[in-house]
Amino acid sequence: MKLQRKNRLRAIAAGALAVSGALVLTACGSDDNSSSGGGGDSKAAATIKCDGKGQLLASGSSAQKNAMDLWIKNYGGACKDTKLNYKATGSGAGIQEFLQGKTAFAGSDSALKPEEVTASEKVCKGGKAIDLPMVGGPIAVGFNVPGVDKLTLDADTLAKIFNSDIKEWNDPAIKKLNPDAKLPSLKIQAFHRSDESGTTDNFTKYLKAAAPKSWPHEPGKAWEGRGGQSADGSSGVSSQVKQVSGAISYFELSYATANSIKTVDLDTGASAPVQATVDNASKAISEAKIKGTGSDLALDLAYDTKAANAYPITLVTYEIACDKGNKAGTLAATKSFLTYIASEDGQTSLKELGYAPLPTEIATKVRESVKNLS
């Protein structure tokens, strides 16, 4: 996966350099590198329109860190005048820094709270902060049960497993969903995140929305479920699933792929159980409603969707910027970078990292909002 990513990066970067060298109009033409060009994807360069100069600081969500790294490499390869720096300090700290005016934009796992929007009027002269959905992804439920390769669960069973109401793998509820599987009489070890995280937030939001009876707790970044074990970070829980027989946990799909952990298919009520894949996640995100007003595009995800091939446990992270009154020094660069990452190329390049590209309808609106930033 890493190799692929490198090659792809090189191709994009090379293409970007070659074409941007040819486009005299673009501000960032670095033609001294044209010798390395050729064989690139010309669309990639076409969507990176460099603008602005200097340092662009951003910070926030660590869930979108990998996506940002890739984008920054691509963008930085094309636009030598802009130095981008995204620090994965966590959503809370990211919003904080943005509201203090230290960063050009913030990355966040959840949309701004009303009081944060009010607070943003101080930094956004004449405007307010808006949420731009940018990075989506499936949250996979990984399991480690000896002798079981395929497992289908529904929201209700998941909620009961994670709330310690179902304690054994050969529980009748699980058997009913998996008539063909050889379920052992093994204790279920449900792992959750010990740190506060957007992944937990979205996973519990899903449980609450899709199985309100079996999940009596309020969704949130901190785990509220009963019992179970915990570990630090996605890497922590995924390595526990790998290590512990009978374990089950939730994490971004990329962790499941990297550790070759088997993931649960969801019985959403659609005709067939849905696999945790990026395409299925994109499909579920397209079912979301936009709850933000104006250029704010905060999403209301459809966790209880029954659409075919829609995997409803998804995480959507936002970029947060001012709709009006962005700092003059960084506005041009911010706009140019956000335009690139919202573009089709920016989005599809994420697929190999285990993120789900935004569905066209939402992406179009994001592009519109970015265009209107001032």
Partner 1 sequence: MKTDIEPISSAAGSPPQVRTRSIGRAGDKIFLGLSRGSGIALLVIMAAIAAFLTYRAAVAISKDEANFLTTFEWNTGSSPMRFGIAVLAYGTVVSSVIAMVIAVPIAVGIALFISHYAPRRLAAPVAYVIDLLAAVPSIVYGLWGALFLVPHLTGLYTWFDDYLGWTGILSYQGGAARSLFTVGILLAIMILPIVTSVSREVFRQVPKMHEEAALALGATRWEVIRMAVLPFGRSGIISASMLGLGRALGETMAVATVLSPNFLIETSLLDPGGGTFAQNIASHFKEAGDGGRDALIASGLVLFVITLLVNGAARMIIARRKEYSGTAA
Question: Contact positions toward partner 1, by CB under 8 A?
Answer: 62, 89-93, 96, 187, 189, 191, 194-198, 218, 220-224, 227-232, 236, 239-240, 243-244, 246-247
Q: Which is nearer to partner 1, 76 or 246 (CB)?
A: 246
Give min distance, CB of 62 to partner 1, in A.
7
Q: Which is nearer to partner 1, 119 or 278 (CB)?
A: 119
Give min distance, CB of 284 to partner 1, in A.
24
CA distances from 195 to 158, 190, 233, 250, 253 (A): 21, 16, 7, 13, 19
Report d(CA 107, CA 56) in Å as an integer. 13
| Residue whose tokens read 């089950």 | 248
SS3 category, 238: helix
Whether residue 295 contacts residue 322, with contact meaning beta carbons closer than 8 Å, is answered with no
Whether residue 358 contacts residue 132, with contact meaning beta carbons closer than 8 Å, is answered with no
Q: Which is nearer to partner 1, 232 or 368 (CB)?
A: 232
Give min distance, CB of 92 to partner 1, in A.
5
H or E element in which residue 278 lies? helix 278-286
Give min distance, CB of 207 to partner 1, in A.
16
CA distances from 14 to 6, 17, 52, 323 (A): 12, 5, 22, 33
DSSP 160-228: HHHTTS--BTT-HHHHHH-TTS---S-B-EEEEESS--HHHHHHHHHHHHH-TTT--SPP-SS---SS-
Q: Which is nearer to partner 1, 244 or 270 (CB)?
A: 244
SS3 category, 240: helix
Give min distance, CB of 238 to partner 1, in A.
12
Q: Which is nearer to partner 1, 76 or 92 (CB)?
A: 92
Give min distance, CB of 302 to partner 1, in A.
23
Q: Which is nearer to partner 1, 163 or 349 (CB)?
A: 163
Report d(CA 306, CA 203) in Å as an integer. 17
Whether residue 298 contacts residue 291, with contact meaning beta carbons closer than 8 Å, is answered with yes
Give min distance, CB of 234 to partner 1, in A.
13
Q: Which is nearer to partner 1, 189 or 268 (CB)?
A: 189
